[in-house]
Amino acid sequence: MILEKYSFGLGDRFARQGKALLQAIIDAKNSGVSITPAWNKSHREHMITNTEPADVRVEADAAVKALGWNDSYYVDADHINLSNVDMFIGSSDFFTIDVADFIGGPADEKGITAFTDHCRKYLGSLTIPNTDRTLDITEEQIRAVARQFLSAVKKAGQIYRHIEAAKGPDNFVTEVSMDEADRPQTPLELFLILAAIADEGILAQTIAPKFTGRFNKGVDYVGDVDKFVEEFEQDLAVIDFAISEFSLPENLKLSIHSGSDKFSIYPSINKALKKFNAGLHIKTAGTTWLEELAALAVAGPDGLSTARQIYAKACSRFDELCAPYAAVVDIDKDKLPEPEVVDHWSGAEFASRLCHDQSSSDYNPHLRQLLHVAYKIAAEMGDDFLGALEKYRDIISPNVTENIYKRHIRPIFME
């Protein structure tokens, strides 16, 4: 299975917007840009929504059938590890092997020395084609990278071989992710990590490093945009070079776990992709669910009441909801309105606080992040919530499509 040049990871907590999401991909195709959809849902999400990996396959297949999509598509077992991969084997054909937790784990000295010897030819000043930058590589740096990352890559190899044994070679796409690490990986580290991935025999088609800056859930990029662009372009050049140096799959490309809505860096990503003629896999997080919530708030009094209840419960269970996402939310509690205040908001007022429109003085990124991680509350409401999604489908679905197409696909791949 060879993942196409541009691919888009679609998140859908409640599996009700499969068609609306695919419609955005179809809109792109009708405008001349081919993007391959991948429905992604992590083990963490399944635990929180009490769903099964097979549900995502059912959703994707149904959407594809209903809309007559004849191109390829994938179901991504997102952020899996050895302890939970088995439940994804049957229904997924894209595996995001998350080894961030193994970074800095024990690596044996023999392995470190062997890796260092293997990379010895890169010592000194290494020129990466298509950039004006050189990487200055010392033996100590190689050893440090090996010490930091070898055990994580070995773990990825173990998981990769486990999947390969179950599914057969060439029957799945492999991504290696380290984006939930404590600190970003430099282009030099990425280069050496790719060397280790090749040594380990992992046929990775996408790699998700942690980039510089904050990729908080559902809100814009926080950090130095120029620094991000410089790093991103170096990463693209490093990947090209690594493909030829280490005989990695020709289509290996970056995967950005965007957490959604990184609007301020989209134009630079777009430019860099064109400059390097590079592919990209981009995952959006659960903003589909926020589109659902915003639409419910304006759909009718019952929808607004549901939205208010979710917010009130989210405030009272703040720590519990934020804990699984501690690395990717930054919420100032003082900026959260009291539920009693929210109870007096109209639907339009609720939506204007929640919707990510930076030109609006109403927009509240703290409330948005809290609601982003509050889908557990909606999941607990069960059929009451799912029934509301059905009842107001005609209001919700166009918003879901427009959000993905206009606010993400167009700026990243088209404009």
Cβ of residue 81: shortest distance to Zn ion, in angstroms? 13
Nearest to Zn ion of 67, 327 (CB atom): 327
Residue with smaller CB distance to Zn ion, 179 or 189:
179
Q: Which of 59, 76, 93, 179 binds Zn ion (CB under 5 A)?
A: 179
Nearer to Zn ion, 147 or 257 (CB): 257
Only segment of 10-18, 53-61, 254-262, 388-396 that touches Zn ion (CB under 5 A)? 254-262
Q: How far is the CB of 78 from Zn ion (least distance, A)?
A: 7
- Nearest to Zn ion of 289, 392 (CB atom): 289
| HEC per residue, the chain | CCCCCEEEEEECCCCCCHHHHHHHHHHHHHCCCCCEEEEEEEHHHHHHHCCCHHHHHHHHHHHHHHHCCCCCCEEEEEEECCCCCHHHHCCCCEEEEECHHHCCCCCCHHHHHHHHHHCHHHCEEEECCCCCCEEEECHHHHHHHHHHHHHHHHHHHHHHHHHHHHHCCCCCEEEEECCCCCCCCCHHHHHHHHHHHHHCCCCCCEEECCCCCECCCCCCCECCHHHHHHHHHHHHHHHHHHHHHHCCCCCCEEEEECCCCCHHHHHHHHHHHHHHCCCEEEECCCHHHHHHHHHHHHHCHHHHHHHHHHHHHHHHCHHHHHHHHHHHCCCCHHHCCCHHHHCCCCHHHHHHHHCCCCCCCCCCHHHHHHHHCCHHHHHHHCHHHHHHHHHCHHHHHHHHHHHHHHHHHHHHHHC
Name which of 178 and 377 has its Cβ closer to Zn ion: 178
Residue nearest to Zn ion (CB): 257
- Closer CB to Zn ion, 234 or 260, in the complex: 260
Query: 155, 210, 257, 410: which one contacts Zn ion (CB under 5 A)?
Result: 257
Given the rule CB under 5 A, which of 148-156, 256-264, 327-335, 364-372 is the region that contacts Zn ion?
Answer: 256-264
Q: What track of x and - describes contact with Zn ion for positions 206 through 245 (by CB under 5 A)?
A: ----------------------------------------
Closest approach, Cβ 21 to Zn ion, in A, equals 18
Nearer Cβ to Zn ion (13/257): 257
Residue 89 C-beta: closest distance to Zn ion, Å:
20
Position 175 contacts Zn ion (CB under 5 A): no
State the nearest-atom distance from the C-beta of 210 to Zn ion, in Å: 9
Q: How far is the CB of 284 from Zn ion (least distance, A)?
A: 11
Largest CA distance in the chain: 68
At closest approach, how far in Å is the CB of 176 from Zn ion?
A: 11
Q: Smallest distance from the beta carbon of 147 to Zn ion, in angstroms?
A: 24
Closer to Zn ion at the Cβ: 257 or 408?
257
Per CB under 5 A, residues contacting Zn ion are: 179, 257
